[in-house]
Amino acid sequence: MRTRYWRTAAGLLMTAVMLFPVYWMVVVSLTPARDMRKSPPSLFPASPTLEGYERVLREQLPYFATSLLVALGTVVLTLALAAPAAYALAKLWPAGRRAFGFGFVLLVAQMIPGIIMALGFYGIYVRLGITNTVWGLVLADSTVAVPFAVLVLTAFMASVPDELLQAARIDGAGPWRAFVSVVLPASRNGVITAALFSFLWAWSDFLFAATLDSGGALQPLTLGIYRYIGNNNQEWNSIMATAVVASVPASVLLVVAQRFVAAGLTSGAVKD
C-alpha cells in the first residue's frame, strides 16, 4: 500500500513539474505590465488583467484563421492520400510490396530533415509561382503527415478481419465499396489518430511557414507569434497570451480524441 502511495506521489510531482511551464505561461498572461519585473515574481497574479488577451484577439485573429485553414486542409489532403494507400498495402497486397519494402520507404521519408525538404520545396514553389500561398503550405505539411498516416492506418486496417471483406464480396461489393463501407468505418480510431497528428503538425509548423510563406498576406499563427515577439519583446503578458490562445485548439483536440485513440481497433466489428 505504501509503495502505491509513493508511486502516486512521485507521478503527481513529475506531472506538476512538467506542467509548471504551462501554468507559468497562464500566470504571466494575466499579470499586468507594471508587475512584470517584480522580484521575486508572484506565483499568483495579484491583480489579474485580460489586456494581453484583448490585444491578441484584436491583432492575431487573421493568423489564427490562416493556421486553422492550413491545418484542416492538411488533414483532408493527408487522409485522402493515406487512407487508400493504407488500404492497398493492408488488404490488396500490391505486387512488389515485400520486394520494395514500402514500410521501410515510409520510415525513410520520416527521417529526412525538414530543412532539406523546405529548401527543396522553395525552389519548386518559386518556379511554379505558389510561394506565399495557403495551399502551398497545405501541400508541404502533407508531405510530413502522409507517411506517418499511412503507417498508422496500415496497422489499423490490417487488423480488420478478412471475414468482413469476404462477406462484402459475397454481397457484391467491389474493392472500393468494401473500403468505403467496411474497412474505413472499422478503422475509425486509426483515421481519427492520423487526422489528429496531421492537424497538430500543420498547426505547429514553423519551418515550412518561415521558408515558403514569410512574405504572404495570409500567414499562420506560428509566424504571427514569432513576429509578435520581435515587435513587442517587453510586453510579456501579450506574448504569453498569444501562446495560451495558440495552445487551446490543440489541447481541446487532444482531450476530445483521447478516447478514440485509446479505444480498441475493431471492437464490436465481429460477433463472437
Which CATH number fits the domain that encloses residue 240?
Answer: 1.10.3720.10
In a domain, 270, yes or no: no
Residue 97 has pLDDT above 60, yes or no: no
CB count in 10 Å sphere of residue 150: 26
Cα 46 vs. chain centroid, distance in angstroms?
36
Q: Does 32 reside within a domain?
A: yes
Same domain, yes or no, for 80 and 174? yes
pLDDT at 32 over 50: yes
The position carrying cell 529548401 is 119
CA distance 59 to 40: 31
Residue 253: Cβ within 10 Å count: 17
CB atoms within 10 A of CB 9: 10
| Assigned domain for 239 exists | yes
Q: What is the largest CA-CA distance in the chain?
A: 75
Same domain, 129 and 18: no
Looking at per-residue pLDDT, the higher value among 151 and 109 belongs to 151
In this structure, how many other beta carbons lie within 10 angstroms of the beta carbon of residue 186?
A: 22
| pLDDT in the model for residue 83 | 92
Same-domain check for residues 4 and 87: no
Domain that holds residue 219: 50-262
CB 202 within 8 A of CB 77: no
Is 17 within a domain?
yes
Q: pLDDT of 35-81, one tens digit each?
A: 777 777 778 877 888 888 888 888 888 888 899 999 999 999 999 99
More confident residue, 67 or 3: 67
Look at 171 and 260; give whichever has higher pLDDT: 171
Mean pLDDT computed over 105-128: 83
* pTM of the predicted model over 0.75: yes
Alpha helix ranges (H) inside 31-113: 51-59, 61-87, 97-100, 102-111
264 pLDDT above the threshold of 50: no
Question: Region 234-245: what's the mean pLDDT?
Answer: 82
Highest mean predicted confidence (pLDDT) among 100-104, 109-113, 173-177, 191-195:
191-195
Instruction: Output the pLDDT for position 262.
Output: 62
Going by C-beta distance under 8 Å and a sequence separation of 6 or more, which residues neighbour residue 14?
none
In whole angstroms, give the CA distance from residue 32 to residue 87. 54
Q: Are 45 and 100 in the same domain?
A: no
Tell me, yes or no, whether 3 and 125 share the same domain: no
Same domain, 215 and 155: yes
pLDDT at 141: 92
Q: What are φ and ψ of residue 128, in 5° steps?
A: -85, -15
Q: What is the pLDDT of residue 248?
A: 86
